[in-house]
Amino acid sequence: MRRANRKKKIGKPKSKAGERTIPLPAPLVNMLREWKLKCPKGPLDLVFPSGAGDVEHHANILHRGFEPAQIAAGVTVPVLDNKDKPVRDKDGKPVVAPKYALHALRHYYASWCFNREKDGGLGLPMKIVRQRMGHSTITLTADVYGHLFSSDDDGAEMKKAMKWFPALSAT
């Protein structure tokens, strides 16, 4: 496994845990294989190269791909002036900006992995999510994503737990 840094240099992942297998659905694997046959060729044999076949610069990924896709999908926030009023274009329409940074996709994936199945997630244990995220320790995963765990049903969870302690249930 390789990664590109901000200086467009290819190297190893930041940690040994970064060397991992990431599960992908078969249709996506097929799409990536088809794209690789069509994409610009370069000495690094990248799947998502620049037009010249080299490492694509992070700013280009944002400005040419991710941000326009968000705007086209309506995933935006209003641009505000220095008085927190919406900026308007020459036709009086609000000016908008993309809502999310690219790194938000990583957090979305982690939340989907953690989220309970009944809430539309995968309900994966923290150890599996740690591996998928490439974290070196489970503590790092818990520190970064611990806020994603639901706490709105603490009363129901405590009630279930009390079945194991009948002496406490009577008090």
3-state secondary structure 38-52: HCCCCCCCCCCECCC
Which is nearest to 114 in space by CA: 87, 144, 78? 144
Mean pLDDT of the chain: 87
- pLDDT digit string, tens, across residues 108-125: 999 999 888 998 899 999
Range of weakest confidence among 8-22, 67-81, 93-107, 143-157:
143-157
pLDDT at 161 exceeding the cut of 80: no
Does the model's pTM come out above 0.85?
Answer: no
Average pLDDT over residues 92-119: 92
Contacts 24+ apart (CB under 8 A), 17-24: 17/130, 17/131, 17/134, 17/135, 17/136, 18/134, 19/134, 20/131, 20/132, 20/134, 22/132, 23/132
What pLDDT score does 153 carry? 61
For the chain, domain boundaries = 1-56, 103-171
What pLDDT score does 139 carry? 93
Q: How confident is the model at residue 157 (pLDDT cuts 50, 70, 90)?
A: low
